[in-house]
Amino acid sequence: MELPLPLWLLPAVPRADRATSEYLPAGQEDLTLSLDACDYIRGKQVNPRDAIRALKRRISHRNPNVQMLGLKLTDTCVKNGGHHFLVEVASRDFMDYLTGILDQQSTTVEVREKILALIQSWAHTFQSRPDLTYVCDVHRTLVAAGHRFPKPEKTNASMIDTMTPMD
């Protein structure tokens, strides 16, 4: 069994760091950098697990702006990273990680709302994909636990038909 590389040696880390830099203006993602990261993932130049590790590192950042950029980058990669990446996003490891952030006292309202919005959007998108249904299970669990989800955005629904095809 091959041991995973230390996080700082992963090729996905520099791309995730640049696309979610704390030096970017608050609330403004750099779409060029985000799409570069997506292309890197979609082109299978990085293991999707390693990409998730790099994204989790940014979503765990102490700066809520970096967390928001990390969540936005994750969503951009969901829409453009290919099926092999979607499987990792829908994994128990990543989804449980996101729900764990919801319960942390240090999590800002904005980050919490973004996580809920993404889970809701992904659950709606993945509902007919048997290999991605854990997202739907998590969504149902959060609804049952009383989490308030935002009203679905029309733009999210439009992404369903344009989602990247399975590889």
Contact 139, 147 (CB under 8 A): no
**According to the model, what pLDDT value does residue 13 have?**
63
Residues of the chain with pLDDT under 50: 1-10, 157-158, 160-162
Phi, psi of 80 (to 5 degrees): -135, 0
Domains of the chain: 7-108 (1.25.40.90)
pLDDT in tens, 82-120: 999 999 999 999 999 999 999 899 999 999 999 999 999
What is the pTM for the complete model shown?
0.84
